[in-house]
Amino acid sequence: MKNILILFAILIFIGAGGFYFWTSKNKNTPPSPIQQIPSVSREKIDSESPPIAVVAENLEVPWAIAFLPASPAGGPDGGMLVTERPGRVRFIDNDGKLDSTPVATIDSVNAVGEGGLMGIALHPDFEKNQYVYLYYTYDGSGNNTSNRLVRMRFENNHLANEEILVDSIPGASNHNGGRIKFGPDGFLYIGTGDVQEPSQSQNRNTLGGKILRVTDTGKPAPGNPFGNEVYSYGHRNVQGLAWDSRGQMWATEHGPSGIWPNCCQDEINRIEQQGNYGWPQSVGDKVAAGTVGPMFHSGRDIWAPSGASIVGDSFFFAGLRGVTLYEAVIENGEVTEVKEHFKGQFGRLREVVVGPDNMLYITTSNRDGRGKPQSGDDKVIRVNPNLL
């Protein structure tokens, strides 16, 4: 009887003709009570604004965006900092003008494969200390590819005084993770990848295939479950992090490559401290004992999900291979459906971040060697989520 009802629901779903698709979800892990944080409310969004606007063009593989507060000490009045994977940090002012001179060029960056300069985050007290955090790939000892977290100061519209905070995070040409964000608890979270070595993910003594949590000086955060930087483990390649209004963390994660049923199944995960998210033993609906299954996965489709942000009850995330802006609807801690926007319109999408105007800002990634560059690529595009 249950199977008949599910089949009936799917038929109704297909017949509706909307941009929805059914995938599998897991209900075994109830969200834990965490610090409440203000959410971006759709009521605060100006519905008179255009649905889509190109903010800036001619970037080279923009990976992440951080918005500057109005009139920071020694800096411009607002605007955004954008990382480019070859190793540059660029400044775009409030009028969309891309400064021709990079704010910083990180010479030690090795933009091999999927690696390079990736995540960026501002310190929660940026207006007082001007600290900017970056995550990038470099050539480690013995020419071993590695990743690191560094901190720099933003002064006179330049980044300087690089400090290495977390070093020798496993790296490779692929699966480097790269997303960094400060959480509602004031600690910095880092998504890493398994660097094409799945055994990394289950080894709690290594930093590959994990979500890390550190202080603003790069030390393991107090209360971490294993006495090191590791917050959760069993991940394949985490590229998106976001928190809902309850303070619950959500993440995007790349599923495996190959041939079905051993491929695809990109994930939306609800992250809990100490959680083992199962890679490589768990994939999609195949959830090994003692591991946490995804809240939603892509089934046979491939999202290649990257940056993520939450507006109201919607978890927005970018699709690289999926060439789509995805919107996962969250109700009572569950993902109930996933909508598709702009499928194929802008090509590969990398970042999704909420700006100070409560609009979504997305970046294209068509110059990364896997896309088909369009005129003006790569771009930063502003999207009004109320008009999707």
Give the model's pLDDT for residue 141: 80
Domain that holds residue 222: 19-387
pLDDT in tens, 276-302: 999 999 999 999 999 999 999 999 999
- Confidence (pLDDT) at 140: 87
Residues 144 and 195: beta-carbon distance below 8 Å: no
Q: Give pTM, 2 decimals.
A: 0.90
Among 290, 325, 286, 287, CA closest to 305: 325
Q: Are 155 and 125 in contact (CB under 8 A)?
A: no
* pLDDT score of 16 more than 60: no
**How much is the pLDDT for 73?**
53
Distances (CA, A) of 219 to 140, 180, 197, 209, 272: 20, 15, 25, 19, 20
pLDDT averaged over every residue in the chain: 90
What pLDDT, on the 0 to 100 scale, is given for residue 23? 40
Domain membership of residue 5 (yes or no) is: no
Q: How confident is the model at residue 76 (pLDDT cuts 50, 70, 90)?
A: low
Q: Is residue 110 part of a domain?
A: yes
- Residue 364 resides in a domain: yes
Is 199 domain-assigned?
yes
Q: How far is CA 357 from the centre of its chain?
A: 20
Flag whether 176 is in a domain. yes
Q: Which residues contact 219 (CB under 8 A, 6 or more apart)?
A: none
* pLDDT band with cut points at 50, 70 and 90 for residue 350: very high
- Residue 100: what residue type? S
Domain for residue 358, yes or no?
A: yes
Q: How many domains does the chain have?
A: 1
User: What is the CATH number for 313?
Assistant: 2.120.10.30
34 — pLDDT class (breaks 50, 70, 90)? very low
Cα–chain center distance at 358: 18
Has residue 8 been placed in a domain?
no
3 located within any domain: no
Taking the C-alpha atoms of residue 34 and residue 187, their distance in angstroms, rounded to an integer, is: 14
Best CA proximity match to 149, nearest among 118, 105, 114: 118
pLDDT, tens digit, 9 for 90 and up, residues 115-169 = 999 999 999 999 999 999 999 999 988 779 999 999 999 999 999 999 999 999 9
